[in-house]
Amino acid sequence: MIKNIDTIISKSEFNFKEILYLLKTEGEERRKLFQKADEIKSANVGNKVYFRGLIEYSNICSKDCYYCGIRKSNKNVIRYRLAAEEVLDAVKYAYEQNFASIVLQGGEVDSPKFTEEIESLLVKIMQITNGEIGITLSLGEQDKETLRRWKNAGAKRYLLRIETSNTYLYSKIHPVDSKHLFENRIKSLEMLRECGYQVGSGVMVGLPFQTIEDLANDLIFLRDFDIDMVGLGPYIEHDQTPLYEFRDSLWDKNTRFDLSLKMIAILRIMMKDINIAATTAMQSIDKIGREKALKVGANIIMPNLTPLKYRENYLLYEDKPCIDEEADECKNCLEARIKFSGNQIGYGEHGDSLHFKRRTGII
């Protein structure tokens, strides 16, 4: 028997049935869930929001994920890779604006040349910022030697989203072949931890064939893996992907958005000291979606620093916001949004995961 909402949210550990109950809350119970998450956030990570200047390095990808607009088989995409100078200019902007951290994100490529390119970029980034900037990578599955080289060159965090913890659903949203194995994704996450990274993962909410029970299990997976940082948000269809044909069977976008907020809130209560991103996908559904995410537990936000001319070619999903904003416009907009949400920006601070620090004995 499920106890009342006040009893459930007063706990730190939830079982499957309790998580399912929380995902289904409405009205006053939903408000209490969100309020509790906000209180937990304030007490454990504070009301600072940390910027991660996002640099979308390349849309060249060796993967063919059925949900992704830059999948290898999409012939409509104009492929690009930023020149080193373009990356370094974006890094300089972040450094001069006191962001303190960047994210280098791109399609998955596994080759010696790519490994060397990223390694060289990392060394240069550390040189021009006096070793002061925090670097997050999101470049897909890589072998252990590559991950070690990038870590030694200056990267400190790595985001590799699981997308779903349901192995059957994973096989429905990826090709079933050796390049798209669920087991490889898990192994990669384990290797990231072994290499000493702050390890990030996340899921999509509202995928075709997904159930609310799947979402409950996703939260349990993130908890049990003892993740350091999370990026999750609503699945948004792209008309140049195989999953687009199932668009009429999806939960409506408002439902996907609301469930994403609940996922963030529940995760904040369960994992009090992790970093949680207010993802751009939230804003693609709700104009103040990222602010709402910040109010229910998120504490990371990523201003887009990718040169404007490349933005339209890095569309993982439809209706992506901020593709026509220059870096200054994006920064000013986010500053206002963060202030509106009742938070402040942690300028000049890396905002490293407190969970990682406690897990590794740093604090």
* Domain ranges across the chain: 45-357
Place of tokens 């702050």: 198
Do 78 and 328 meet the contact criterion of CB atoms below 8 Å apart?
no
> What are 296-339's pLDDT values in tens digits?
999 999 999 999 999 998 988 777 877 777 878 788 888 888 88
Beta bridge partners of 204: 233
- Percent of the chain residues past pLDDT 70, beyond the cut: 99
Mean confidence (pLDDT) of the chain: 95
**What number is the average pLDDT over the span 129-145?**
98
Right CATH for 45-357 from 3.40.30.10, 3.40.1550.10, 3.40.50.1820, 3.20.20.70: 3.20.20.70
Q: For residues 7 and 18, what is the distance between their CA atoms, to the nearest angstrom? A: 10
Residue 158: C-alpha distances to residues 25, 126, 134, 155, 305 (Å): 33, 17, 11, 8, 18
Do 131 and 176 meet the contact criterion of CB atoms below 8 Å apart?
no
State the pLDDT at residue 2.
Answer: 57
Position 116 pLDDT exceeds 60:
yes
State the pLDDT at residue 337.
Answer: 80
SS3 (DSSP) at 227: coil
User: Could you tell me the two tokens for 252?
Assistant: 């409506």
- Band of the pLDDT at 12, cuts 50, 70, 90? confident
> What are 65-78's pLDDT values in tens digits?
999 999 999 999 99
> What are 222-280's pLDDT values in tens digits?
999 999 999 999 999 999 999 999 999 999 999 999 999 999 999 999 999 999 999 99
